[in-house]
Amino acid sequence: MRDRQREDTPVAGNLPLELDAFVGRTAELAGLTEALGETRLVTVTGVGGVGKSRLAARAASRCAPSDGVWRVELAPVRDPACVDHAVVAALGLTDHTTRPARETLLSHLAERQLLLLLDGFEHLVDACAELVTELLCRAPGLKVLAVGRRPLSVQGEKLLPLTPLAEDEAVELFAARAALHGIQVAGDDDVRELCRRLDGIPLAVELAAGRLRALSPGQLLVRLDDRFRLLTRAGGDSPWRHRTLRTAIGWSHELCTPEERLLWARLSVFAGRFDLEAVEYVCSGHGLHADDVLDVLSELLAQSVVSREETDSGVRYRMLDTVRAYGADWLAATGDAERLRRRHRDWYLGLATWCELDWFSPRQAELAARVEAELPNLRSALEHCLSEPEEAHLGQLLAGSLWFCWAGCGRLSEGRHWLDQAVQLHSGHEQSRLKALWVLGYVAVLQGDTLAALAALHECREEAELSANPTATAYAEHRTGCLALVSDDMPRAETLLRSALARYQEIGELNSNVLMGQVELAMARAFQGDLEEAEVLCEDVHRVCEDHGERWARSYALYVLAYAAWREGDQGRARELLTDCLAAAHSFRDLLGSVLTVELLALVTATEGDAAEAAVLQGSADRMWPPVGLPLFGSAYFNAPHELCEAMTRERLGDERYEECVRAGALLDREAAVGRALRLGRPTATALEALPAPREPLRHSKVTLDMHEPAASPTRKGGETAG
C-alpha cells in the first residue's frame, strides 16, 4: 500500500468529499499517515468532538491502496448482528447466497489491497473487535483504520490518541468557520480566551463560531464563563475534557430558542442521515408546527448543530453522534422519546410502503437510491418493531414491503436476516406474517436454499388458504412455481405459474412481481421448445413495462426475447436485447440478471465467430457466480447455453487457449466485466491484452445441442457453489 498520493487525486472507494477547509493537525496527520504505512490496524481514539473522523478521513485520502479506501459509518448501527451487513453495504457488495455476511466479506477481501475505515465503533466494540481480528487474519492485503472513543483492544493494534487543537490552530479554525457565515474575526484576546476555555475541542469551537451572527466573541466568552462556573459548582467525576465538551454543547443548547431545543432533541431519533420530509413528519406537533420546521432546522444548520450534505438521493442532513446523544438525553428527559420512536417507525414504514407501490413505475432507479440512503433508518425501524411484541406485525409488514430492496437491489442476505426474525414472531396479524413468509420464500429461492424456500412457501400457502387470503395464496403459488423452474421441473413450473397468473388476474394484481411470473412462465415454455408462446408472453411484458416505465422486470423479459432471437438465428437482435438487459440489471445491482445475461452474451459472441471473446466472457461469468449461488442454479436447462458455448469455443480454440482466455476473463471484476460486455471499455493490462481474437465464423462446428432436451447431468468447470 503506498503511503501518499496527491490530495487532488480522487481515491477509489466511498470517502465523502470535504465541504469545508481542513484546519491544522499537520503533525497528527503526518503521524497517522506514517502509521498506516507501517501497521495493518491503527485506531484513532479521543473524546467526542475532538476531530477523530475528520483526521482519519483526511489521512485515508492520502493512502492509495489499489482497491480503494472504504468508510463504514457504525454510529447508526445499534444491533451488533448488523455490523457485518453494514460493512457489506459500505463496500457495495452484492451476495445472493445463504452464506453469512462475514463469509461474503472474507471472500471479497481475500486478495484485495484495501483500507477499511471503521468510524464510530465504540458502542459495538466486541462485535467490531471480532470482525477486525478475523478479517486481518484472513485478508493479508487489508488494512483497518478504526475511529472511536476507546481502543478495539486486539492484537497488533497501534493506538493514536488524538488531543484537542493547539491554541493557534483552534483560533484558526474559529476564524475559518466564522468566515463561512460571512464574519471576519481576528485572533484577538477574546477569541483566544474563548478557544482556551473550549479546550481546543474542534466541535466546541465550531459550535461557538456558529453563534457569531448574534453574539460577538466577547459576549460568547461571558456566557461561557457563566456556564463553566455552574459546572465547577456542580462538580462531577467525569474527565475534564468530557465535561468541557458537554458544557460547550450544553451552552450552545441553552442559547437555542425553545423551538430549536425541541427540534434538536427530536432529531436524535434518526439513525444516520435524514431528509426534510422525514423531519417535518416525525418532529412536528406538540409545540412545533410543521410549517415552522424548515426555519428552525435552518437555524440549527447555521449554529453547526446540524450539517447539510448533497447525496445521490438529494439533500440530506445529519448530526454528529456527540450532538445527537445530547439531544437524546433531553428527549428522554421530556418523556416524549417513545412517541417520537413511534413517529419515526411510522414514517419509515410509510416510506417502504410507498416505495413498494411506486416500484412499478419509471422511478425505480430513484427509489433504489432512496432506499439505499435510508437503510440506517429502516434498520432502526425494523429493530424497534421486532423487539416490541405489540409491534411485531409492523416489523413483518416492513420486512415484507422491502422485497424489492432485498430481491431487486442486491440485498438478499440482509433481507434474509430480517425476514427470518420476522416470521418467528406470531403477531396475531396474519396478513403481515403471510407477506413476510412469501417474501422469505422468494429470497430463499433466489439464494438457492430449496428447503427453506419450500418450508416458508408451504406454510404461507396453507395459512393463506385457511384464512381465505387470495393474495398470499397467489404469491406462494407463484414462488413455488419459480422454485420448480430453477429445479428443472418444467411441467410443474408451468402449471403453478399459470395458476398463479390466473389468480393475479382474478384479484386485479399487476406489478413487477406479476410480470416476473409471466417472464418465468415464458422461460418454462422456451425451455420446453415453445419459443412462439415465450415470445408472445415476453412481448406482452415488454409492452406493459413500457407503458408503466418499469425497467427491472423488463430486463428479464429482454433476456428471454434475446434467447429466442439467438435460437432463431438473429444474432444482431439478440446482442441488442442483451446489451439493454445487462445495462438495466447492472444499474440495479441485480447480480443474477447480470450474470445470466453475460452467459448468454458469451454464446451469442461465439455464434458470431469471436471464440476468444466468448471464452473471456465465460471466464468473467465464472467469477460472478459465487456471490449469486450455484452456477446456473445447477439446472440443466439454464446450463445448456453455457455448455454449448464452451463446446463451440473449445473446438475453435483448442483446450489450452480456451482455458487461457477463461483465466483472463476471471481476472475482471464485475465493473470491468460488465463494461467489456457492453463494449463501454476494456480492462486494464492483463494477460488478455496479448491474446489474439480471431473472428472466423464457426461454420464447421460439429457441436449441436437441443436446448429443450438438456443433458441429464451438466457439469461446470470452476462452478463451485458459494451457498
pLDDT band at 245 (very low <50, low <70, confident <90, very high): low
| Sequence-distant (≥ 6) Cβ neighbours of residue 277 within 8 angstroms | none
**Which DSSP helix (H) or strand (E) runs through 308?**
strand 307-311
Give residue 300's identity as a one-letter amino acid code: L
Mean pLDDT of 83-95: 86
Mean pLDDT of 130-136: 95
pLDDT tops 60 at residue 673 = yes
Distance from C-alpha of 248 to C-alpha of 224, rounded to nearest angstrom: 8
Mean pLDDT of 450-479: 96
Cell 475534557 belongs to 241
Question: Which residues are 226's β-sheet partners?
Answer: none
Q: Are 174 and 191 in contact (CB under 8 A)?
A: yes
Mean pLDDT of 333-361: 95
Could you give the domains of the chain? 26-161 (3.40.50.300), 167-334 (1.10.10), 338-509 (1.25.40.10), 590-723 (no CATH)
pLDDT band at 495 (very low <50, low <70, confident <90, very high): very high
Give residue 628's identity as a one-letter amino acid code: V
Mean pLDDT of 521-546: 96
Residue 145, classed as helix, strand or coil, is strand
Mean pLDDT of 380-395: 92
Q: Are 254 and 248 in contact (CB under 8 A)?
A: no
| Sequence-distant (≥ 6) Cβ neighbours of residue 64 within 8 angstroms | 1, 2, 4, 5, 9, 11
Mean pLDDT of 425-440: 91
pLDDT, residue 97, reads: 75
pLDDT tops 50 at residue 84 = yes
Per residue in 287-345, pLDDT tens?
899 899 999 999 898 787 888 888 777 889 988 777 888 899 899 999 999 999 999 99
Q: Are 553 and 541 in contact (CB under 8 A)?
A: yes
pLDDT tops 90 at residue 501 = yes
pLDDT tops 70 at residue 241 = no
pLDDT, residue 689, reads: 38
Integer distance in angstroms from the first to the last C-alpha of the chain?
32
Distance from C-alpha of 257 to C-alpha of 252, rounded to nearest angstrom: 10
pLDDT, residue 480, reads: 97
pLDDT band at 232 (very low <50, low <70, confident <90, very high): very low
Considering 312-316, 370-374, 718-722, the range whose residues carry the highest mean pLDDT is: 370-374
Calculate what percentage of the chain has a pLDDT beyond 70. Answer: 88
Q: Are 143 and 1 in contact (CB under 8 A)?
A: yes
pLDDT, residue 583, reads: 93
pLDDT tops 90 at residue 523 = yes
Of 304, 121, 328, 119, the C-alpha closest to 198 is 304
pLDDT tops 60 at residue 499 = yes
| Sequence-distant (≥ 6) Cβ neighbours of residue 373 within 8 angstroms | 273, 311, 312, 313, 316
**Ranges assigned E (strand) in 3-105:** 41-45, 69-73
Of 578, 582, 648, the C-alpha closest to 615 is 648
Per residue in 579-633, pLDDT tens?
999 999 998 888 888 999 999 999 999 999 999 999 999 999 999 888 877 788 8
As a residue count, the chain comes to 723
Per residue in 647-667, pLDDT tens?
999 999 999 999 999 999 999
Mean pLDDT of 102-122: 91
Mean pLDDT of 416-423: 94
Cell 461571558 belongs to 222
Mean pLDDT of 182-188: 75
pLDDT tops 70 at residue 74 = yes
| Sequence-distant (≥ 6) Cβ neighbours of residue 104 within 8 angstroms | 88, 93, 95, 97, 413, 627
Dig out the grid coordinates for 81 from the structure.
Answer: 448482528
Give residue 651's identity as a one-letter amino acid code: E
- Higher pLDDT pick, 327 / 245: 327
pLDDT, residue 711, reads: 43
Distance from C-alpha of 146 to C-alpha of 205, rounded to nearest angstrom: 24
Radius of gyration of the chain (CA): 29
**Burial of 31 from C-beta contacts in 10 A (0-12 / 13-18 / 19+):** middle
**Dihedral, CA of residue 44, residue 48, residue 51 and residue 55, to nearest 10:** 20
Distance from C-alpha of 387 to C-alpha of 561, rounded to nearest angstrom: 46
**Burial of 366 from C-beta contacts in 10 A (0-12 / 13-18 / 19+):** middle
Mean pLDDT of 91-116: 86
Dig out the grid coordinates for 26 from the structure.
Answer: 499537520
Distance from C-alpha of 355 to C-alpha of 162, rounded to nearest angstrom: 43
Dig out the grid coordinates for 220 from the structure.
Answer: 460568547
Dig out the grid coordinates for 605 from the structure.
Answer: 459472441
Question: Which residues are 618's β-sheet partners?
Answer: none
Q: What is the mean pLDDT of the chain?
A: 85
Mean pLDDT of 51-76: 88
